[in-house]
Amino acid sequence: MAATIRVGTCSWADDALTKYWYPKGVPPGARLGFYAEHFDTVEVDSTYYRLPAEEMVQRWAERTPDGFVMHVKAFGVMTRHPVKVEQLPPDLRDEAPQDERGRVDRPSREFRGEVFRRFLEALEPLRSAGKLGGLLFQFPPYVVPKEASYDYLAWAREQIGDDEMLVEFRHRSWYEEEQRDETLRFLEEHKMSHVVVDAPQTEGKNVPLTVLALTSPILYVRMHGRNAETWNVRGGSAAERFDYLYSDEELAEWVPQLKELADQAEQAYVVFNNNNRSRVGGREKAQAPTNAEMLRDQLAQAKMPVSGPGSAARAGSR
């Protein structure tokens, strides 16, 4: 049996959704519950910018139904991104080494370990409720295949214990022909899930390649859009970088690919990261949920197992 595919978005609270998807009058505290009436999985991206508070995570667990799955993006310190010291919890700021721009600068393993500990501890309400999916480790383009990178990956994997680790590299060298097999072998050996991506089809070194492969029983696909013009704009927002609306034809390309991959998986997720808006049918619509619903419909029409709230008539729904 192929894994049932869950489709959702990266964030339920970005500007495009709050302005162009939620009905007017839905208060912020009710948005996640409304989202969960339409999709049964989501990726949390706010945790990349700040460590989550356990009280907030408890509210996420309470506002979603049984069976809902939340994937949580790792805090920037955990993925070696530049993070302002002010983004740290107050009690960690004084001991954080920093550069001339006020960013955390090459912290010790002990410091990073404390960040991991707090991050993981805060997720316990989701874990206890059976709603915690994978932890997304999206590494920056300057993390390239070398001994220090492999060492850090193995160390990070040890820190998260029994939680699932989803790995997305942003430097294409990880998946170029001469390196690809080694990367996939390493991820499989260390029980990490390779994140399949759809991104602009350019030759840029910081544009990840689409590699249709599994390194664990989890299939995790992130749809970034194909806007090559905005991908590398300096100082641009995430909404600008991922400003793209997939066409029916572009999504249809993914249906046979998802079928092949889901046949090999035990769990399967597709999340849309194209968090901007487009004019569709004469009105503005949020791109991510629009495309998520389009893909879910295409999968159902292809009689593939796909789940989602209100999908009782869909093929393979639970």
Q: What is the DSSP string of 145-186?
A: SSHHHHHHHHHHHHHTTTSEEEEEESSGGGGSHHHHHHHHHH
Tokens of 45: 């991206």
Residue 36 has pLDDT above 90, yes or no: yes
Q: Dihedral sign, CA of 34, 132, 10, 5?
A: negative
pLDDT at position 242 is 73
Residue 280 has pLDDT above 80, yes or no: no
Least confident of 109-118, 138-147, 187-196, 281-290: 281-290
pLDDT at position 235 is 62
pLDDT tens-digit series, residues 57-107: 999 999 999 999 999 999 999 999 999 999 999 999 999 999 999 999 999
Residue 239 has pLDDT above 70, yes or no: no
What is the topology classification, in CATH, of domain 5-307? TIM Barrel (3.20.20)
Residues 6+ positions from 205 with CB-CB distance below 8 Å: 141, 171, 172, 173
What is the pairing mode between strands 218-223 and 164-169?
unpaired
Work out the average pLDDT over 38-51.
97
pLDDT band at 233 (very low <50, low <70, confident <90, very high): low
* Residue 120: C-alpha distances to residues 47, 77, 169 (Å): 11, 13, 22
Residue 312 has pLDDT above 60, yes or no: no
Cβ atoms of 5 and 307 within 8 Å: the answer is yes
pLDDT at position 314 is 35
